[in-house]
Structure 1
Amino acid sequence: MSGALPRRRLVPTEVAALAAGVPAATVRKWASRGRIRRYGRPGRAEYDLDEVFTIASAKPPPAHTTHSSN
């Protein structure tokens, strides 16, 4: 069946965070802001790895603080 939707690869918050290289709080923040969709049931959040990878690859690099030696 060629018209079938791709299956979601759902993982718990901690695994999604590990895959994205961010803290679990960041994954929860992405979901609360509507950047990724939360699946699962109350008390057991799950996220689609493809969505997590997409948003993680779009995140800006960490800001670097430079100190001047004036």
Structure 2
Amino acid sequence: MRDTTAVRRRTVPTELAALAMGVTEATIRKWASRGKITRYGGPQRAEYDLDELFALTGEAIQAPLAGDG
């Protein structure tokens, strides 16, 4: 039986992560290098998990519900 409780990451590039957090791209990179957040993606494209970013500030983000529009 497959595990259906796995959570899919919602990742964004550095630029959007910085915009969402209200900080500079350099700050996002610094947080990643210090281990505060996890860097995903390949060598040429860093991405960051939105839920992990907002957990730093204690804010929660809501995923759109099916049928909302």
**Quick check: TM above 0.5?**
yes
Matches for 1:1-70 after TM superposition, within 5 Å:
3-55=4-56, 57=57
Q: Is there any run of 5+ residues in structure 2 with no aligned partner, and where?
A: 59-69
Q: Is there any run of 5+ residues in structure 1 with no aligned partner, and where?
A: 59-70
Partner of 2:66: none
Identical counterparts, % of pairs: 63
Give how far 1:46 is off: 0.3
Runs of 4+ in structure 1 over 6 Å off = none
RMSD: 1.5
Give how far 1:38 is off: 0.2
For 1:45 and 1:2, locate their aligned partners in 2 and report how far apart those are by CA, in whole Å: 28
- Rg larger for: 1
Aligned residues: 57
Structure 2 length-normalised TM: 0.75
